[in-house]
Amino acid sequence: MKTLILLLLLVVGMHSAAAVSHSLQYFYTVSTGMETFPQFVAVGIVDGEQIDYYDSVSEKNVLKQTWMEGVRDEKRITDVRKGIQQTFKANVGVAMQRFNQTTGVHIVQEMRGCEWDEETGKVTGSFQFGYDGEDFATWDTGTNTWIPAKQQAEITTDLWNNDKAKLESDKNYINHLCPGWLRNYVSYGRSYLMRTEDFLLSSQLPRYRFLPEQS
């Protein structure tokens, strides 16, 4: 996934009225050295349809679909994303240190989400981190461990893999939290999501600090 960062802008999906598979994805992007672009952006997507947007300029979560109104507490979502924003700002600084970089344009992105088959009940999910458009770390659902994509990510993945509570939290997110939210969103927006047409979309995640600042 060499161009992870481009997914934020180019994720396009197809959804038909006969489909029984649904997806929920969240994209978190933090950048440095880009004066014309918000330093932090969060986007949520259900079945290829963008449901919300948050950035570090407005610091307010904005719904993009009327059928999402009343589904959740948007003030709480805004507060959560403000916290994630601070963590990601620290992450990009840590990543630059790991790659021996002091200046320039650099980007950290996380993509996480799940798919739910409405007919079989099967749930699958994924966590991925990217740095400067290339893979940084990926969560292996089979072993419930983080796999570094680069040598510079090994300190971070070792830290996460030694945190058993966090690994259980990741597993719970994929198996329970994410599909639970997805079922709820689909229930509210079924008449809209089940239309036959092309969609463009995005959603939310927990916080991950790449590693202790003193490391």
Q: Domains in the chain and their CATH numbers?
A: 4-200 (3.30.500.10)
pLDDT for 111: 95
pLDDT for 196: 43
pLDDT for 191: 76
pTM of the model as a whole? 0.80
pLDDT for 190: 83
42 strand-pairing partners: 28, 54
pLDDT for 1: 47
pLDDT for 19: 54
DSSP 2-61: TTGGGHHHH-EEEE-TT--EEEEEEEEEEEES-TTS-SEEEEEEETTEEEEEEETTT---
- Under 8 Å between Cβ of 3 and 38: no
For residue range 35-58, list pLDDT tens digits in order.
Answer: 889 999 999 999 999 999 999 999
pLDDT for 134: 94
Structure tokens at 166: 């966090």
For the chain, residues with pLDDT lower than 70 are 1-19, 194-215
